[in-house]
Structure 1
Amino acid sequence: MEYTLYDKELRRARETLDEIEHARAEEIEARSLIFEEGRATEEAIANVETEMKTKTNMLRRNKNYLSGLEDDNTAAMTLKTKLELRCKELEEAVTMSDEVMETNKRELKSLELKIIAAQKELDEKVQPKFDSYKDKLACMSNEREDAQKKTEGIYAKQGRGRQFTSKKDRDVFLKTQIKELKDASKQKQQLLSKKKETLTNLCRSTASGSKEIEAKTEDLKKKTGALEELGMTINEKKRVRNEMAESRKEQWRELEESKERVHEARDRAQRAFSNLRKIMPRATASGLDALSRIVEEEKITVGEQYFGLLMQNFELTDEKFRTAVE
């Protein structure tokens, strides 16, 4: 009877153990499923975080790029305004130079007309008068010499018949004739001096006009050369401005790409370190946190007294060794 009772209890105990074992197996399987789901969820969260960080970096990069474009646009507008003002000033200077050039041309033409008129007057009026007065002066000089010779001949005639009643009357008459001749010769000399002075003034005026024409021509050449040089300078400045704008855009693009690579590398490093902490023992993670805290609290110099984690001082010979294997 007791054996039967013990046998029944043993069977019940075995059934209970089988049920417990079955429940434990189901619990283990459920926990495994939950663990797998949790790990998949963590991976999905990590992927989402990675994607969010990538998109955040892209958004930040786009914002920085947009800010750079706005700054570039502002600088370009400022430069455009300055260049427009400069071009306007240069156009005004060119217009003024053209006006001065036209004025100089008109003055040059007027001076040429005056020179032609003066030369014509000199050839048609002054020179003939000068030649006429010169001939008259020579004629009067000859007449005076003839009169003097005649006077001397009259004085020399002693034995001939006398024209005058007395010698005194003759001398008075001759002196009167000589005085008249001298007065006429003096007037002719004064007139000749005036004509010579007029001719000298005309020659001086002609020389002055020629010098002024040469000065105006030289000034016109200088201004034309300055305008050409100014145009070349403007073209060169425009070319340099365009090259600098293109270079600045290229530098902005390279800077944004460098920032993007730095952010992506930092994210990969943080993600790798986070994955490393997930698979390392809790005590090791706590020790690393304590080490970082001690370095910060004790103000230990990094690079002289503390060189970081051992794994941070490895230089891998191949990138394949960066893959963690459990």
Structure 2
Amino acid sequence: MKHRHKGNCRTACAVAMVLVITGTGANFARAGGFLESLSRPRVVYDSFKPSGVAPIPQLPPPPNANPPSTTPPPGYIAVNIDTFWCDGDDRAADRALTAAEIAASFATASQYLLSGSDLRVGEIRTRPIEWKAVWSTLSELEQSLIRGGPLLRYDATDEPSRMMVNILLPGVNTKNIVAVPTSEFTPNYISIYVCSAPDTGRFHGQLFFQIRDSSLSEKVSKSIEKIQGSYLGLKVIQGVEIVGSRSPDSSEVRYFYPDDQYLAGRIAADISDSTSLSVRPKYIEGYQERIRQGTLEAWITP
């Protein structure tokens, strides 16, 4: 594989803990030591199909990932999180992808930032919702905020929800989420709404193409054209590498960070659709020190 230069690592401070991105997971330093990783909470991606968009794949967990858990151990409090995305226009697919990115980021942050507390995330879901159903429930302040980016709502009188927001939000690897406390009584519950136009710079990722031989060039060119028009902010590297015998037995989109799983699955589905080949996402471990997050590689085999 080609050497991909890794960019500067991002850090975030939350409740006297420091997050250091390291690839397949993250280390959180506190009081001179590292926190133990918790089980990754269950993330349920919706199977709703926005108009004109390939179905969202139901992806398996990455190899060696902690098993999902929806029931916290005795003595712990579970808080559930719903990430809604507004449907009904040509931006729906982008919002669905943003919602999935947010859900995955909350799942990763909860594995580390909740260690040592009596809080656990029960389940994280992404769900479509009609714009008019959202608008009617928002305050005047929330109506002004939701157009600018993801809006997080929680019950200000519910201590577990409030503490969960205070702990997790600073460590979530997604920008521009605005948290607004509400007076509605919804204990142990956080809702996030993605209803703005997509952030064209949010991906900050890059996609490389490798093919077994030149007979695949025309098919791959169609895939590149489709992806460039569908994933704003994702850089498709020009120049397709012919790898010959280094090509895998079947076509795959390789990703190197667990949080990139959803994006890799969507791109694999789009390549399958444009080439009539079977393309699957594949998680690759061991390259996080050399590859920046958001890097994907499409290896295409006849």
Q: TM-score, normalised by structure 1?
A: 0.17
Higher share of residues assigned helix: 1
Higher share of residues assigned strand: 2
Q: TM-score, normalised by structure 2?
A: 0.18
Higher relative contact order (CA 8 A, sep 6+): 1
